[in-house]
Amino acid sequence: MAQDKLPLIKIVATGGTIANTPSGRLHAGEVAEAIPQLKKVARLEVEEVIRVGSSSITVENWLTLARRISEILAREPEVQGIVVTHGSNTVEETAYFLSLTLKTDKPIVLTAAQRQFTTLSSDSPKNFLQAVRVAATPEARGKGALVVTNDVINAARDVSKNISYRLETYSSRDIGALGFVDEDRVTFYRAPTRPTGAFDIARIQRLPRVDIIYAYAGADGALIDAALAQAKAEGLVIAGFPTGSGTPAMDDAVKRAVAKGVPVVMTNRGGMGRVTETRPTEHRPLIWGDNLTAQKARVLLMLALTQTRDAAELQKIFATY
């Protein structure tokens, strides 16, 4: 009877290290059953949408995942929150995509792990438990998608994975965490201010192709030209130098791309701080990616291109989300 009064949390599984063992990847339900503390936090319903490592996640998977979560929220109003179990390599991108496309104030919490479920000092059980605790917390409502790992709550827009294998890999860099999951309580110290749920994907079958081009000393424009000519990219993101630029040769290639009607977003390969026009007299035909990492800017540009291709409107979108 006591558990009947607990909040209902839906686990939507995609695979990843959090459900992986040296002998193979487990069903998320098996992982949940192996964590008895969960039964004191929430009633769980587990559903597996896909079962892959996060390096295999595709844009099509994002569309499937977002639509399924939307269906759950529409058809099962008793569900109080969603936990998405995910691989670590791309969880930040999936989280941002869901934050931009899900129209709900219910908690959407993604979690991942650095160490396989049954290995020594695995972070998988604790991260799973903490994600459920956050999803069951009323204070988590209205904050967009969240990433919860290693006792820390990060906003989907801001978080990135920065370390290959150590547990403290996730950080929101110069923006900072939203809060923490301690043994006694879940505490939020701040809330995101950027809007969520702005993009309707109900009728979208595919998203425009957007490629990322990295800036480095001596880079020419060959990769930019190839992205358009061979890959047929409909948009480009430049992971530029920290001051928000590429090499002169890259700048020339960008001008060729924009002349063909392809929008180009400039971001900062260092990952911290805003990029903005610092050479206004040169009239660089760029969209400025604010403080988004290149991979987050790609997600936003793909979705933005389903609404507009006007450069001024795209710039407003990047200033807003």
Active-site annotation holds for 17: yes
Max alpha carbon distance in the chain (Å)? 70
In whole angstroms, what is the distance from residue 41 CA to residue 6 CA?
A: 7
d(CA 36, CA 55): 30
Contact 306, 208 (CB under 8 A): yes
The active-site residue, picked from 14, 17, 101, 104, is: 17
- Catalytic residue numbers read 17
